[in-house]
Amino acid sequence: MLFADIIGQEGTKKKLIQSVTDSRVSHAQLMLGPPGSGKLALALAYAQFVNCTNRSAHDSCGSCPSCVKMARLSHPDLHFVFPSTTNKKVKKDPESNLFLEEWRSFVLQENAYVGLNQWYNFLGVENKQGTIFTRDANELIRKLNFKAYEAEYKVAIIWMAEKINVQAANKMLKVLEEPPDKTLFLLIAEEQEQMLSTVKSRTLMVKIPRISDKAIGNALIQRFQCREAEARDATLMANGNWLEAVRMYENNEEEKFNFQTFQQWMRLCFRGSILELTDFSATIAGIGRERQKSLLAYGLNVFRNGLLVNSRLNELLRLPDDEKEFNTKFAPFVHTNNILDLVGLMEEGITHIERNAHAGILFMDSSLKMIKLLKIKP
């Protein structure tokens, strides 16, 4: 990870870089900041920077052997500890060491912008909570007692340090206080109150703020090649949390897809074109069950909105202009003589998809019923 790949956080980057330039790298640092602020990404960029053999004043070189291994998270002097629990693969005595392969793919895939719930989902641990165990502490201490293989600093990244249990913390206290030579501990945490005070008191706290809206907006535009207005909408709701900004943006994408697709579906139903509806149903069969359900749920909203418009309650429609226009134009076709059947059609569709119905047949069948329902007079 290069500092250049970090979203925003200019002030924090500067401080971290300065500590290296001034040769006053604290051996145990606690990076504390809210979810989605890029703590792990910063820690990885820092670890890479201190060990780069050809760094500039502002960043790692990205191409020396150390940088290459750091970027792949496979450097022999880069160690990770993180919360783990049992899952399908590890049925008892979980510890970080047993999940290293998963951890590397997870972090690389998300470009180091990761959250605890995402990690649990990735491991498939359902509702279990992870812990950093004594086994983790023992294994880390064992690894750190070796001489550095090739790096200037051995780096131990302890992700979500609030999950260290008391026994593991007691094991680690001594090594945090008097670490082996040239060892850098980077602890990452979100909840200061949940951290054991014994661990906290042995570290230098580096507060990581939320990411600025501007930096999040620019990063969204770069990553999704989206328009400025789209990035702005997602940024407004995200409150400096990159993970949340991505989620908001993607939800918005789904909303737009539903709008366009539903509008097209209704157009074909009005036209009563069986051939085109067959094509349409075949396409929808390929979008996946969650999206099919989401599309039908969108239809339910359109019908409900129709009733609002008919009752002259247009101001209750909280929609972008183009969607509002569509909902308003569609409203005359929704009335007391067909609303229950229209709603029933969407709801049944959702239930059938949940029970693995063939989506192509289901959408074709619903289209035929829809043609009839739209013809009913108010």
**Residues in touch with Zn ion (CB under 5 A):** 52, 54, 60-61, 64, 67
Task: Quickly count: other Cβ atoms within 10 Å of residue 216's Cβ.
Answer: 28
Task: Quickly count: other Cβ atoms within 10 Å of residue 90's Cβ.
Answer: 16
Nearer to Zn ion, 42 or 175 (CB): 42
Nearer to Zn ion, 155 or 211 (CB): 155
Measured over the CA atoms of residue 145, residue 148, residue 152 and residue 156, the dihedral's sign is: negative
Q: What is the CA radius of gyration of the chain?
A: 27
- Asked whether 208 and 7 are in contact (CB, 8 A), the reply is no
Q: Extract the tokens encoding 93.
A: 């005595």
Q: Which amino acid is at 44?
A: L
Nearer to Zn ion, 152 or 255 (CB): 152
Cβ contacts of 277 within 8 Å, gap of 6 or more: 268, 269, 364, 367, 368
From the CB of 18, what's the least distance to Zn ion, in Å? 19
Q: Extract the tokens encoding 266.
A: 């209704």
From the CB of 152, what's the least distance to Zn ion, in Å? 11
Nearer to Zn ion, 65 or 378 (CB): 65
From the CB of 70, what's the least distance to Zn ion, in Å? 8
What is the Cα–Cα distance from 133 to 152, expressed in whole angstroms? 28
Report the side by side order of strands in the sheet with 154-159.
78-81, 154-159, 183-189, 28-32, 204-207
Nearer to Zn ion, 21 or 260 (CB): 21
From the CB of 67, what's the least distance to Zn ion, in Å? 3
From the CB of 60, what's the least distance to Zn ion, in Å? 5
Per the document, the length of the chain is 378
From the CB of 62, what's the least distance to Zn ion, in Å? 6
Nearer to Zn ion, 63 or 251 (CB): 63
Nearer to Zn ion, 64 or 374 (CB): 64
From the CB of 50, what's the least distance to Zn ion, in Å? 11
What is the Cα–Cα distance from 41 to 9, expressed in whole angstroms? 11
Question: Among residues 297, 330, 299, which one has the least CA distance to residue 314?
Answer: 330
